[in-house]
A and B are shown apart, each in its own frame.
Chain A
Amino acid sequence: MYCRPQPFWATVAAFSLGLLAVVPDARAAEAVGTKDRLHWAFHPVRRAPPPADSLKNPSLGRHPVDAFVLSELEARGLGYSPEADKATLLRRVYLDIVGMSPTPQEVAEFLADESGDAFEKVVDHLLASPRYGERWARHWLDLARYAESEGFKADETRPNAWRYRDYVVRSLNADKGYDRFILEQLAGDEIWPEDAEALIATGFNRHYPDESNARNLMQRRQEILNDITDTVGSVFSGLTFACARCHDHKFDPIPQADYFRLQAFFANTAADDHIPLLFGEAKSRYDERLRKWEGATRFLRAEMEALEAPKRAEILSDYVDKYPEEIQVALRKPESERTPFECQMVAKAKLYIDPSSHQYLAPSKAAAAKLKGDQKKRWEALSQELEKYAALHPGPLPVATGIRDLSGTAPATHLLKRGNWDSPESEVTPGFLSVIGRRTPEAPSKASRSTTGRRTALAKLLIDPSNPLTSRVMVNRLWHHHFGRGLVATPSDFGVKGESPSHPALLDWLANKFIAEKWSLKAMHRLLVTSRAYRQSSEHRPDAFRTDPENRYLWRYSRQRLEGEVIRDNMLFVSGRLNSKMGGPSVFPALPAGMESRGGWKLSPDASDRDRRSIYVFVRRNTRYPMFETFDMPDTHEPCARRNQTTSPVQALTLLNSELTHGWAGSFAEKIHRESSSALGDQIERAYMWAFGRPPTGEEQKIAEAFMHSQARVIEAAAIADPERGVSPEAVARRTALTDLCHALMNSNEFVYRF
């Protein structure tokens, strides 16, 4: 299993002419036998037409998705369930595409629309809604292990990480092609260096957890590279590359050399948390204002600087002295004399010692804090004087956080024995999976002075139509979210140990269709949700259940528990509290009283901000927002393609007892009061319409009325009158009983699942 060192000539050949040819590694290919190539995921995507004609009822197969699904069902003696009733279907598709349920008005309109394409119109309406991007961005952020803090000890905030979240929302809403989406995230800085969106997109590879305070920068760099390699391999190619870090993959045809070949694409990258987002004229205007401020304050600042300098030097040397000797040597060298590897080390140290960093250890204030006596007084006076010029300053430059290459020359990448950072073996050059390398064309990467071009080469390999993984993996992710289970049930493991596809021909047809539709996600969403497979009922059918208890072959729609984020969004929406403002820095809703969060959780001062959509809630790596965590929001330390789905008493306690849900229930009840007559029956009907998108049945109406009466008696017995507002105990009790009805509805299974 051990891979011999790469011949010297191969390396030389690869680097001559400044061209880096991405060619299959000959020995890696050797290690990957022909048998491995037979695994379905590495086959070229086949082009079989939908088997509509062979169906018992060919008219049912007019929709291509149904032709494939039905042919598998019929082969097992099964067929579709009846169509879901319209109200259920509407609630299903709303929660699926925009993450909120339909209003009573929308339900009424849909029920009244008897045209043949009523549902298609709804789908188009939903896909055009900006709420779609907010809903589906969360799925992508799970994969991007998106968080807004470093993790590890201090879990410091990454102040501009949110721009990436907004980028994903915007990209989805604009229906950006998935090919472009990949190019931007992997190599936006190389391909479109003056396009703010493309630069923000590189944040994808910046979302790694990082022990920014580590002393061993060699190890730290290796851990970052490992994270990027594992993430890129699993997100875009659906393979468990991480298993090949220490040895050849035990099951899949990924030799250890392939792991480091993939890693080599990123060998010269480093985080850049200060990517300016102003260009051209806007940048010139900014610079001009800044120059004015600098000119006006030159002498003030010079004098302050003279006071600060010795203290600053103390702070920095106290920190730098703790680095191992070789790092200190690199830091002391002039930039031009540093090797590419030393440049890497210096870049890693920058977070704390670079004056432009948001975590710079020795900004003016920190240095000044060490001054004493007259010096301190003088500095304070100067500082006050400087403050007077604040109006001249153009403000902080808007910046993004992402990655970039440090130069055109990357440090060597070595295969590491057992994956240990300090056990380098043979050198490897950038390259993609050997097992499909033969079919992917060479993608030469052109280095410039500032970048190696390697990531562009990788991105092009990924989006090449002959790459059998990229489109298959992505359409399967879409299927997974729409249907609750992928055609491949392990969306990030297309390897030998992953699930085989339930509908291989359909998967391939969709993969081709995706490319033919110019990688449009919205086209695929529309295709999937307008199928009869999606529109069928989720009700139980004992006969079909016996044949296919897992519903692998889709004889019904699989009901799904809502994610914690959707539960919160929909509770806010139904209660009339949702603040639908889009984008911008994240918000901080209340934590349970007494809960701490290292790195800070400063409650949003504007109360309406606390009611914004869940996608805008700050993501602190070490402290997930408790309601989301309880409902299985994944750990942000690695990509998550398929969330766990658990049911626990802690979830019940959260929805039943938290001040938040009680508050939302109160708002919901007030809304019902406003929107309906004071008749109990009307109130119950309105509450059902909002919570479940349907009116109560006669029996449900009776049960709810009985509950309201008995609950009001219980409440009245506790005698909580409000004499000041002249409200009788009976009226208080009735109102409170309505709140309890609303609260119970929002706790019910019908609310937290979509059927």
Chain B
Amino acid sequence: MSAFTKLAPSARREFLARVGSGFGALALDYILRRDTLEAEAAGHVFDPLQPLQRRDPHLSAKAHSVIWLFMEGGPSHLDLFDPKPELERLSGTPMPASFGKVITAMGTASNTLMPSKRRFSRHGQSGHWISDWYPHIARNADDLTIIRSCRADGLNHVGSVCQMNTGDILAGRPSLGAWATYGLGTSNENLPTFVVMTDAAEVLGGPKNWSAGFLPTVFQGTQLRQGNVPIFHLAAPMGVDDARQRGKLDFLRTLNGRLGARRPEDSELAARLDSYELAYRMQAAAPEAVDIGRETEATKALYGLDNPATEKFGQICLRARRLVERGVRFVQCYSGSGSGWDAHNDLEANHSKLCLSSDKPIAGLLADLKARGLLESTLVIWGGEFGRTPFNEKGLGRDHNPWGFTTWMAGGGAKPGTVVGSTDEIGLRAVDRPVHVHDLHATILHLMGLDHERLTYPHNGRGERPTINAGEVITEAVEA
């Protein structure tokens, strides 16, 4: 049928050899090829003709994949993981001057201090302090590495969400998932390798949070939508059945093959030919990967799919596990997407709902990964773009706090049962062992086997790296 398949076998072989196989068939132009040489000189090697080809890590990788549970809007560390008895004592008084001056998003710094209404207790052998908002997660306490001294640079959501993803509060830099994909390539060519899922509205700042920035766009994140067609244009429009699609693709392959045969040196044309075959395979692979209908009732219950309150985020967590099982490297799951955790007015009402909706799914994910032996190779991260202030806003809420907040990790080489750093007596600022966003990024990459200082890409005259000019691996948080 197809003239391409009628090409002389040797011509065809030569043609395809250039393309490599699978996702490796993505090609860039010659300028990028030279950039590659520069990147190589700077310490990182990738072949722009096969940008998603699997690449060796710099270091021995502990985490094959990352699942990042992003509590968007800023969960309150003071009411979840970082109890502050001092706030009881100072309740109702303005913040003592000794804690220094801060500019806050809503101008609340002179409001009175507000203690937590939650009950904290210690859990597991590690004795991690976790509040009664997260009872299921608390049962997994010994898996957690809790970093209580995180800090960031932004005051407002969009800059801070952007920084947590890209390292900078100003948009334009590549997301950490894009860097990881650039560094390691893919291990499943039929699926996107950096995936984003949301449970509510659009993430503040939108797709630029998973953008490839100045890296080639092939490294950008793909948002998987709910429902059966998780990627735009994954299926042909109604009325185009498989036979018709296949017929058209075969003809297209003939057209492109004939043109390519006249230009055997042009690997980009060959790559474009092959990209249609990959697209065709992805049409089948992606819906299968997110089809949770194939899971047992017990598994579904583990993630809370049997309860309307936990069903939505539970589905996302379960999809995350299925993706990781299929080799996807970087999965981001947004809880409260569209700044849901942003409790300015009524912390109790806001967090009660969001903690309920995320607690069981997250605990289920940890337990399920562990039971399947995947937790060792999967780094789970929980956190927001910042925490919340010890002083009140409008009496019952808390303002944004980028000066001190909590992030935790589990699995993937993170050191279980450990606490890193602390905030001051009222939980305003990180004081002991402050951990900047760049340090978090350096650590995540380290666990994936990438050295954040060697992972560079030439851009505007600079060998850019994920951590800009800073970042240190948090050695205390990493298993030896």
Contacts and interface: CB of A to CB of B under 8 A. Distances in A.
B156 interface: yes
Contacts of B263: 539-540
Contact of A324 (B103, B205, B208, B247): B103
B26 interface: yes
A243 B463 CA distance: 11
Contacts of B157: 153
Contact of B244 (A155, A597, A715): A715
A545 B266 CA distance: 11
Contacts of A753: 269
A638 B172 contact: yes
Contacts of A498: 461
B248 A744 contact: yes
Contact of A649 (B3, B214, B279): B279
A716 to B, nearest CB: 11
Interface stretch (A163-171, A272-280, A656-664): A656-664
Label chain A's interface by main secondary structure: loop
B375 interface: no
The listed residue with most A CB atoms (<10 A of its CB), out of B104, B155, B202, is: B202
Contacts of A492: 460
A248 interface: no
Contacts of A10: none
B29 A645 contact: yes
Contact of A720 (B158, B239, B275): B239
B265 interface: yes
A645 B32 contact: yes
Contacts of B34: 489, 550
Interface string A621-635: 011001001101001
A251 B208 CA distance: 30
Interface stretch (B54-62, B254-262, B354-362): B254-262
A152 B208 CA distance: 10
Contacts of B99: none
A657 B239 CA distance: 12
Interface stretch (A12-20, A208-216, A723-731): A208-216
Contacts of A652: 272, 275-276, 278-279
B218 A495 contact: no
A489 B31 contact: yes
Nearest to B252: A744
B309 interface: no
Interface in B107-162: 107, 155-159
Interface string B1-43: 1010000000000000000000101111111111000000000
Contacts of A592: 232-233
B105 interface: yes
A391 interface: no
A189 interface: no
Given A152-B205, A215-B107, A322-B107, A632 B217 contact: yes
B461 A495 contact: yes
Contacts of B158: 152-153, 211
A714 B243 contact: yes
A609 interface: no
B407 interface: no
Nearest to A702: B3
Interface in B156-179: 156-159, 170-172
A622 B205 contact: yes
B243 A252 contact: no
Nearest to A323: B107
A485 B31 CA distance: 8
Given A209-B171, A646-B217, A711-B247, A540 B234 contact: no
A703 interface: yes
B237 A657 contact: yes
Nearest to B198: A596
A678 interface: no
B222 interface: yes
Contacts of B89: none
Contacts of B205: 152-153, 622
Nearest to A659: B237
Given A630-B217, A753-B269, A243 B460 contact: yes
B159 A662 contact: no
Interface in B217-242: 217-218, 222, 225, 231-237, 239-241
B106 interface: yes
A251 B218 contact: no
B206 A214 contact: no
A711 B232 contact: no
Contacts of B252: 744, 747-748
A253 B290 CA distance: 53
Nearest to A642: B31
A471 to B, nearest CB: 21
B421 interface: no
B195 interface: no
A541 B249 CA distance: 30
Contact of B156 (A214, A651, A743): A214
Contact of A645 (B28, B241, B244, B249): B28
A745 B255 contact: yes
A717 interface: yes
A324 B107 contact: yes
Contacts of B260: 749
B218 A539 contact: no
Most central of A209, A323, A493, A652 by chain B CB within 10 Å = A652
A644 B264 contact: no
B265 A540 contact: yes
Nearest to A703: B3
A635 B208 contact: yes
A247 B172 CA distance: 21
Contacts of A495: 461
The 8 closest A-B pairs by CB, nearest first: A322-B107, A153-B158, A637-B172, A652-B279, A649-B279, A622-B206, A497-B461, A592-B232
29 contacts: A211-B158, A215-B155, A240-B460, A489-B31, A539-B263, A549-B30, A549-B265, A550-B34, A551-B30, A559-B266, A561-B29, A594-B225, A635-B171, A645-B32, A646-B28, A646-B51, A647-B26, A648-B26, A649-B23, A649-B276, A650-B279, A653-B282, A656-B245, A656-B279, A657-B234, A707-B247, A711-B251, A720-B239, A747-B252
Given A635-B171, A714-B243, 12 more contacts: A153-B204, A484-B29, A550-B33, A550-B34, A595-B232, A635-B208, A644-B216, A647-B26, A649-B276, A658-B233, A662-B240, A740-B248
Interface of B: 1, 3, 23, 25-34, 51, 103-107, 155-159, 170-172, 201-202, 204-208, 211, 213-214, 216-218, 222, 225, 231-237, 239-241, 243-245, 247-249, 251-252, 254-256, 258-260, 262-266, 268-269, 271-273, 275-276, 278-279, 282-283, 460-462, 469
